Structure 1
Protein backbone atom coordinates (compact mmCIF):
# COMPACT_ATOMS: atom_id res chain seq x y z
CA UNK A 1 0.00 0.00 0.00
CA UNK A 2 1.18 3.53 -0.77
CA UNK A 3 -0.28 6.84 0.26
CA UNK A 4 0.58 10.39 -0.77
CA UNK A 5 -0.84 13.84 -0.22
CA UNK A 6 -2.78 14.97 -3.30
CA UNK A 7 -4.48 18.27 -2.37
CA UNK A 8 -3.84 21.01 0.16
CA UNK A 9 -6.49 23.74 0.51
CA UNK A 10 -5.70 27.40 1.12
CA UNK A 11 -8.62 29.71 1.86
CA UNK A 12 -8.30 33.16 0.30
CA UNK A 13 -10.44 36.29 0.01
CA UNK A 14 -9.78 36.84 -3.68
CA UNK A 15 -8.69 34.03 -5.98
CA UNK A 16 -7.19 36.38 -8.59
CA UNK A 17 -5.02 38.16 -6.00
CA UNK A 18 -3.97 34.79 -4.61
CA UNK A 19 -3.03 33.63 -8.12
CA UNK A 20 -0.68 36.60 -8.47
CA UNK A 21 1.05 35.55 -5.24
CA UNK A 22 1.11 31.76 -5.54
CA UNK A 23 1.36 31.64 -9.33
CA UNK A 24 3.62 34.57 -10.17
CA UNK A 25 5.68 35.12 -7.01
CA UNK A 26 6.09 31.43 -6.11
CA UNK A 27 6.19 30.11 -9.70
CA UNK A 28 3.39 27.60 -9.25
CA UNK A 29 1.51 26.65 -12.41
CA UNK A 30 -2.27 26.69 -12.75
CA UNK A 31 -3.50 23.16 -13.34
CA UNK A 32 -7.25 23.64 -13.12
CA UNK A 33 -9.72 26.52 -12.78
CA UNK A 34 -13.29 25.47 -12.02
CA UNK A 35 -16.26 27.78 -11.51
CA UNK A 36 -19.49 26.71 -9.81
CA UNK A 37 -22.34 28.64 -8.17
CA UNK A 38 -20.45 31.95 -8.38
CA UNK A 39 -17.22 30.60 -6.83
CA UNK A 40 -13.91 29.31 -8.21
CA UNK A 41 -11.57 26.56 -7.19
CA UNK A 42 -8.12 26.95 -8.72
CA UNK A 43 -5.48 24.27 -8.38
CA UNK A 44 -1.78 25.05 -8.69
CA UNK A 45 1.29 22.91 -8.51
CA UNK A 46 5.02 22.69 -8.98
CA UNK A 47 6.66 20.71 -11.79
CA UNK A 48 8.87 19.14 -9.11
CA UNK A 49 5.79 17.61 -7.40
CA UNK A 50 3.40 16.63 -10.19
CA UNK A 51 1.05 14.66 -7.93
CA UNK A 52 0.48 17.44 -5.38
CA UNK A 53 -1.84 20.39 -5.91
CA UNK A 54 -2.78 23.43 -3.86
CA UNK A 55 -6.45 24.40 -4.09
CA UNK A 56 -7.33 28.08 -3.71
CA UNK A 57 -10.91 28.95 -2.83
CA UNK A 58 -12.94 31.58 -0.97
CA UNK A 59 -14.41 30.91 2.51
CA UNK A 60 -17.99 30.42 1.27
CA UNK A 61 -17.10 28.23 -1.73
CA UNK A 62 -18.91 24.92 -1.28
CA UNK A 63 -19.83 25.64 2.36
CA UNK A 64 -22.92 26.66 4.27
CA UNK A 65 -23.33 30.35 5.08
CA UNK A 66 -22.52 29.70 8.75
CA UNK A 67 -19.40 27.65 7.98
CA UNK A 68 -18.22 30.19 5.39
CA UNK A 69 -18.76 33.02 7.88
CA UNK A 70 -16.76 31.15 10.56
CA UNK A 71 -13.92 30.46 8.11
CA UNK A 72 -13.97 34.10 6.94
CA UNK A 73 -13.59 35.23 10.55
CA UNK A 74 -10.55 33.00 11.06
CA UNK A 75 -9.05 34.17 7.76
CA UNK A 76 -9.60 37.82 8.75
CA UNK A 77 -7.85 37.19 12.09
CA UNK A 78 -4.90 35.60 10.27
CA UNK A 79 -5.08 32.42 12.36
CA UNK A 80 -5.58 29.74 9.71
CA UNK A 81 -2.74 27.18 9.53
CA UNK A 82 0.38 28.33 7.73
CA UNK A 83 1.69 26.78 4.55
CA UNK A 84 5.38 25.88 4.31
CA UNK A 85 7.21 25.63 1.00
CA UNK A 86 10.73 24.31 0.39
CA UNK A 87 13.20 25.84 -2.05
CA UNK A 88 16.77 25.16 -3.09
CA UNK A 89 17.63 28.89 -3.15
CA UNK A 90 16.01 30.75 -0.27
CA UNK A 91 17.66 34.11 -0.90
CA UNK A 92 16.57 34.26 -4.55
CA UNK A 93 13.06 33.07 -3.67
CA UNK A 94 12.83 35.64 -0.87
CA UNK A 95 13.82 38.47 -3.21
CA UNK A 96 11.31 37.37 -5.86
CA UNK A 97 8.44 37.14 -3.35
CA UNK A 98 9.41 40.43 -1.67
CA UNK A 99 9.55 42.05 -5.11
CA UNK A 100 5.93 41.02 -5.66
CA UNK A 101 4.88 43.34 -2.85
CA UNK A 102 4.05 40.59 -0.37
CA UNK A 103 4.16 41.52 3.31
CA UNK A 104 7.46 40.32 4.79
CA UNK A 105 7.10 38.80 8.26
CA UNK A 106 10.65 37.47 8.59
CA UNK A 107 13.70 37.90 6.41
CA UNK A 108 15.83 34.79 5.79
CA UNK A 109 17.53 33.52 8.95
CA UNK A 110 19.22 30.33 10.08
CA UNK A 111 16.95 28.59 12.57
CA UNK A 112 18.47 26.83 15.60
CA UNK A 113 16.70 23.58 14.61
CA UNK A 114 18.45 23.46 11.23
CA UNK A 115 16.79 25.06 8.21
CA UNK A 116 17.16 28.59 6.89
CA UNK A 117 13.74 30.17 6.38
CA UNK A 118 11.67 33.31 5.87
CA UNK A 119 7.99 34.23 6.18
CA UNK A 120 5.39 36.29 4.31
CA UNK A 121 1.67 36.93 4.39
CA UNK A 122 -0.25 36.21 1.21
CA UNK A 123 -2.76 38.85 0.01
CA UNK A 124 -5.46 37.31 2.26
CA UNK A 125 -3.28 37.34 5.37
CA UNK A 126 -2.28 33.66 5.43
CA UNK A 127 1.21 33.01 6.76
CA UNK A 128 3.51 31.41 4.22
CA UNK A 129 6.94 30.18 5.28
CA UNK A 130 9.67 29.23 2.83
CA UNK A 131 12.48 26.99 3.97
CA UNK A 132 15.78 25.69 2.66
CA UNK A 133 17.47 22.70 4.18
CA UNK A 134 20.94 23.34 5.61
CA UNK A 135 23.78 22.77 3.20
CA UNK A 136 25.85 19.73 4.00
Structure 2
Protein backbone atom coordinates (compact mmCIF):
# COMPACT_ATOMS: atom_id res chain seq x y z
CA UNK A 1 0.00 0.00 0.00
CA UNK A 2 1.21 3.47 -0.87
CA UNK A 3 -0.59 6.29 0.99
CA UNK A 4 -0.92 9.62 -0.79
CA UNK A 5 -1.99 12.73 1.09
CA UNK A 6 -3.24 15.95 -0.43
CA UNK A 7 -1.90 19.08 1.21
CA UNK A 8 -2.78 22.74 1.09
CA UNK A 9 0.87 23.69 1.70
CA UNK A 10 3.39 21.25 0.25
CA UNK A 11 6.38 23.05 1.76
CA UNK A 12 4.91 22.73 5.28
CA UNK A 13 4.10 19.06 4.68
CA UNK A 14 7.66 18.46 3.43
CA UNK A 15 9.02 20.26 6.48
CA UNK A 16 7.07 17.82 8.66
CA UNK A 17 7.62 14.50 6.83
CA UNK A 18 11.11 15.23 5.46
CA UNK A 19 12.49 17.72 7.96
CA UNK A 20 11.10 16.45 11.27
CA UNK A 21 10.56 12.75 10.50
CA UNK A 22 13.63 12.30 8.32
CA UNK A 23 11.95 11.25 5.06
CA UNK A 24 14.16 11.00 1.98
CA UNK A 25 12.86 12.32 -1.34
CA UNK A 26 12.71 9.59 -4.01
CA UNK A 27 10.48 11.25 -6.63
CA UNK A 28 9.41 14.78 -7.57
CA UNK A 29 7.04 16.03 -10.26
CA UNK A 30 7.80 18.14 -12.09
CA UNK A 31 11.55 17.69 -11.75
CA UNK A 32 12.23 21.40 -12.29
CA UNK A 33 10.57 24.24 -10.40
CA UNK A 34 8.08 23.99 -7.56
CA UNK A 35 6.83 20.42 -7.14
CA UNK A 36 3.20 19.36 -7.41
CA UNK A 37 3.86 15.86 -6.06
CA UNK A 38 6.69 14.41 -3.96
CA UNK A 39 7.36 10.88 -2.74
CA UNK A 40 9.31 10.41 0.48
CA UNK A 41 10.84 7.21 1.84
CA UNK A 42 10.36 6.73 5.60
CA UNK A 43 12.14 3.57 6.73
CA UNK A 44 10.84 0.84 4.43
CA UNK A 45 7.68 2.71 3.42
CA UNK A 46 6.82 5.53 1.02
CA UNK A 47 4.32 8.37 1.28
CA UNK A 48 3.17 10.63 -1.52
CA UNK A 49 2.38 14.28 -0.90
CA UNK A 50 0.35 16.15 -3.51
CA UNK A 51 -0.17 19.90 -3.57
CA UNK A 52 -3.75 21.13 -3.77
CA UNK A 53 -4.34 24.18 -5.91
CA UNK A 54 -7.54 26.08 -6.70
CA UNK A 55 -7.24 25.34 -10.43
CA UNK A 56 -6.44 21.62 -10.19
CA UNK A 57 -9.14 18.96 -10.45
CA UNK A 58 -8.50 15.45 -9.13
CA UNK A 59 -8.82 12.58 -11.59
CA UNK A 60 -11.53 10.94 -9.45
CA UNK A 61 -13.67 14.11 -9.48
CA UNK A 62 -14.31 14.07 -5.72
CA UNK A 63 -13.76 17.18 -3.60
CA UNK A 64 -10.62 16.92 -1.50
CA UNK A 65 -11.40 19.84 0.79
CA UNK A 66 -13.02 20.38 3.14
CA UNK A 67 -12.56 16.96 4.61
CA UNK A 68 -14.54 16.32 7.75
CA UNK A 69 -13.91 13.96 10.61
CA UNK A 70 -11.14 11.47 11.28
CA UNK A 71 -10.19 10.35 7.77
CA UNK A 72 -6.84 8.66 8.21
CA UNK A 73 -4.27 7.84 10.85
CA UNK A 74 -0.65 7.24 9.90
CA UNK A 75 1.69 5.16 12.04
CA UNK A 76 5.37 6.08 11.79
CA UNK A 77 8.06 3.96 13.46
CA UNK A 78 10.88 6.05 14.94
CA UNK A 79 14.04 5.15 16.86
CA UNK A 80 13.17 7.31 19.88
CA UNK A 81 9.60 8.50 20.47
CA UNK A 82 10.58 11.02 23.15
CA UNK A 83 13.36 12.62 21.08
CA UNK A 84 11.09 12.80 18.05
CA UNK A 85 8.37 14.51 20.09
CA UNK A 86 10.90 17.08 21.33
CA UNK A 87 11.96 17.76 17.73
CA UNK A 88 8.30 18.12 16.78
CA UNK A 89 7.60 20.44 19.71
CA UNK A 90 10.58 22.64 18.75
CA UNK A 91 9.18 22.74 15.21
CA UNK A 92 5.79 23.98 16.42
CA UNK A 93 3.94 20.74 15.67
CA UNK A 94 0.74 20.20 17.71
CA UNK A 95 1.34 17.37 20.20
CA UNK A 96 -1.95 15.51 20.71
CA UNK A 97 -0.68 12.81 23.08
CA UNK A 98 2.61 12.91 24.95
CA UNK A 99 4.71 9.71 24.82
CA UNK A 100 2.88 7.06 26.80
CA UNK A 101 3.55 3.37 27.45
CA UNK A 102 0.68 1.24 26.16
CA UNK A 103 -0.55 -2.04 27.69
CA UNK A 104 0.54 -3.93 24.55
CA UNK A 105 4.17 -2.82 25.10
CA UNK A 106 4.64 0.08 22.69
CA UNK A 107 5.53 3.66 23.60
CA UNK A 108 3.16 5.85 21.59
CA UNK A 109 2.65 9.56 20.95
CA UNK A 110 0.29 11.41 18.60
CA UNK A 111 0.90 14.58 16.62
CA UNK A 112 -0.98 16.43 13.92
CA UNK A 113 0.65 17.02 10.54
CA UNK A 114 0.30 20.42 8.80
CA UNK A 115 -3.03 19.36 7.25
CA UNK A 116 -4.54 18.00 10.47
CA UNK A 117 -3.91 14.29 9.75
CA UNK A 118 -3.26 12.18 12.83
CA UNK A 119 0.23 10.71 13.03
CA UNK A 120 1.02 8.06 15.63
CA UNK A 121 4.70 7.81 16.52
CA UNK A 122 5.97 4.55 17.99
CA UNK A 123 9.23 2.64 18.16
CA UNK A 124 9.99 -0.62 16.42
Instruction: Give the structure-1-normalised TM-score.
Output: 0.76
Query: Aligned residue for 1:117?
Result: 108
Note if 1:41 corresponds to 2:37. Answer: yes
Query: Aligned residue for 2:3?
Result: 8
**How many residues were matched structurally?**
120
Equivalent pair of 1:21/1:123 in contact (CA under 8 Å): yes
Query: Whose helix proportion is higher, 1 or 2?
Result: 1
Quote the RMSD (CA, aligned, Å). 2.5
Correspondence 1:1-136 to 2 at 5 A: 5=1, 7-35=2-30, 40-46=36-42, 48-49=43-44, 52-58=45-51, 63-64=58-59, 66-67=61-62, 69=63, 71-74=64-67, 77=68, 79-133=70-124
Segments of structure 1 that go 5 or more residues without pairing to the other structure are none
Equivalent pair of 2:28/2:35 in contact (CA under 8 Å): no
Distance 1:66 1:34, change over 3 A: same
The CA distance in 2 between the partners of 1:24 and 1:88, in whole Å, is: 15
Instruction: Give the structure-2-normalised TM-score.
Output: 0.82
Segments of structure 2 that go 5 or more residues without pairing to the other structure are none
The CA distance in 1 between the partners of 2:16 and 2:69, in whole Å, is: 17
